[in-house]
Amino acid sequence: MSKQLHISPSLMTMDLDQFKEQITFLDSNVGSFHIDIMDGHFVPNLSLSPWFIEQTRKLSNKEMSAHLMVTDPVFWVQQLIDIKCEVICMPAERINGVAFRLIDQIHDAGLKAGVVLNPETPVSEILPYIDIIDKVTVMTVDPGFAGQRFLKKMLHKITELRQLREDNGYQYLIEMDGSTNKEHWKMIHDVQPDIYVVGRSGLFNLTDDIESSWQQMISEFEEETGEKFIQVEAQEAA
């Protein structure tokens, strides 16, 4: 058996000493890039920024997906629109009252709008606007730090979202974010997300260089799932 996989590396976990080398290699292998943006308030950490996306764009024309972990999504959404970040994923917990306006604002700019469900947030939270979003990111770890404990019970949200999409003809993609690695490949793959975010434990820390780490990731996927790894055709920015 084989399965096309859309892999989206979490650039927060890459080795910045090898920034150019890693982006250049991944550019020809991944479906998109996942960029975590944290403000130190929504989660107790600071991470990447719109400026980082601009720097990455100098080396890659692949789709950039921003994962906002911020208390003021209105402020950050406009910055990401200004640099034409292709996908802007907002925290469901912080957009109540402005969700429709922000989604319309992103779509009016010709970009894609997504929402992120933290572990404690049920799928029902986004039902009022689920029909107009382009992506739902399901967190299977607590947000804000790499290496958090994998929360297996969150995988049921992916199954729920797939059923909702099938029953209603929705168009959103389902992304899984959190501890995608050898230990969890089988259970994650069983629920069939559309996009797999991989980070430190599943890619960047496997070996000393990105090419051999990529090959080890593929080997671990095939060993744990019994399926052949086939990379989905990479998304390029418009």
Query: Is residue 237 a part of any domain in this protein?
Result: no
Q: Is 17 a catalytic residue?
A: no
Rounded to whole angstroms, what are the CA distances from 85 to 39, 77, 81, 170, 204? 18, 9, 6, 23, 23
**Contact call for residues 62 and 234 (beta carbons, < 8 A):** yes
Q: Which pLDDT belongs to residue 197?
A: 96
Quick one: tokens of 215? 């090959």
Q: Which pLDDT belongs to residue 232?
A: 72
Query: Is residue 238 a part of any domain in this protein?
Result: no
| pLDDT tops 90 at residue 183 | yes
| pLDDT tops 90 at residue 178 | no
Cβ burial of 202 (10 Å; 0-12, 13-18, 19+) is buried
Query: Is residue 129 a part of any domain in this protein?
Result: yes
Q: Which pLDDT belongs to residue 170?
A: 98
Confidence of residue 44 (pLDDT cuts 50, 70, 90): very low
Query: Is residue 40 a part of any domain in this protein?
Result: yes
Q: Is 177 a catalytic residue?
A: yes
Range of the domain at 57: 2-231
Rounded to whole angstroms, what are the CA distances from 61 to 26, 118, 197? 11, 29, 18
* pLDDT tens-place string over residues 49-60: 788 899 999 999
Report how many domains make up the chain. 1
Query: Is residue 225 a part of any domain in this protein?
Result: yes
**Contact call for residues 84 and 66 (beta carbons, < 8 A):** no
| pLDDT tops 80 at residue 81 | yes
Query: Is residue 8 a part of any domain in this protein?
Result: yes
Q: Which pLDDT belongs to residue 230?
A: 86
Alpha-carbon Rg for the chain in angstroms: 17
Query: Is residue 7 a part of any domain in this protein?
Result: yes
Which one of the listed residues 39, 134, 177, 194 is annotated catalytic? 177
**Contact call for residues 96 and 129 (beta carbons, < 8 A):** no
Confidence of residue 175 (pLDDT cuts 50, 70, 90): very high
Query: Is residue 35 a part of any domain in this protein?
Result: yes
Task: Output the domain CATH number for residue 219.
Answer: 3.20.20.70
Which one of the listed residues 17, 36, 72, 209 is annotated catalytic? 36
